[in-house]
Amino acid sequence: MRIQWDYRYSLGVPELDNQHIKLFEMVNDLMSGIESNFRHEATKGALESFLQYAQEHFSTEERVMQAAGYPGYDEQKTEHQKFTGKMNELTAKVETDSDVTSVELAAYIMSWIQNHILEADAQIGVFIKEQKKRR
């Protein structure tokens, strides 16, 4: 399984779009690592890098929303926090519980990121475009 970034995911905000593209690449790398062997250190490293970059991205996105006065800021921030919490929980489970496979973890990340961009982040793009028109 791989995810492919295309124009449907574009918010028209280059800083955020570039980070989303990078997140897609990192998730694909993670999946490749997991498919070859999750328990290798390199794959754990890929998971850590992904989580770290996701945090950086959430901070950037939250800063962009605040600067624009985006009304859905709190909702977005809650979604980011929930994802981070769920990721930490699943990562811990993958290490200890054989019922949760690392493929499931990566599949969860893939579907979350696609849905979150298409549904929640897309609205930030719409808001910023409308705001520019009004100026």
Distances from the Cα of 58 to the Cα of 22, 64, 85, angstroms: 13, 10, 13
Nearest approach, Cβ of residue 34 and Fe ion (Å): 22
Task: Report 94-123 residues binding Fe ion (CB under 5 A).
Answer: 121
Task: List the structure tokens of 124.
Answer: 């930030």
Distance from chain centroid for Cα 67: 21
Nearest approach, Cβ of residue 128 and Fe ion (Å): 13
The interface mask with Fe ion, positions 45-74, x = CB under 5 A, is ----------------x-------------
Report the residue number whose CB is nearest to Fe ion.
121
- Give the nearer residue to Fe ion in terms of CB position, either 44 or 86: 86
- Give the nearer residue to Fe ion in terms of CB position, either 106 or 121: 121
Q: For residue 17, state whether it binds Fe ion (rule: CB under 5 A).
A: no
Nearest approach, Cβ of residue 54 and Fe ion (Å): 9
Phi-psi region of 51 (alpha: psi -120 to 50; beta: other; left: phi over 0): alpha
Other C-beta atoms closer than 10 Å to the C-beta of 20 total 20
Angle subtended by helix axes 41-68 and 122-134, to nearest 10: 30
- Give the nearer residue to Fe ion in terms of CB position, either 23 or 94: 23
DSSP reduced 3-state for 30 = helix
Distance from chain centroid for Cα 33: 18
- Give the nearer residue to Fe ion in terms of CB position, either 9 or 38: 9
The residue ranges that bind Fe ion (CB under 5 A) are 61, 121
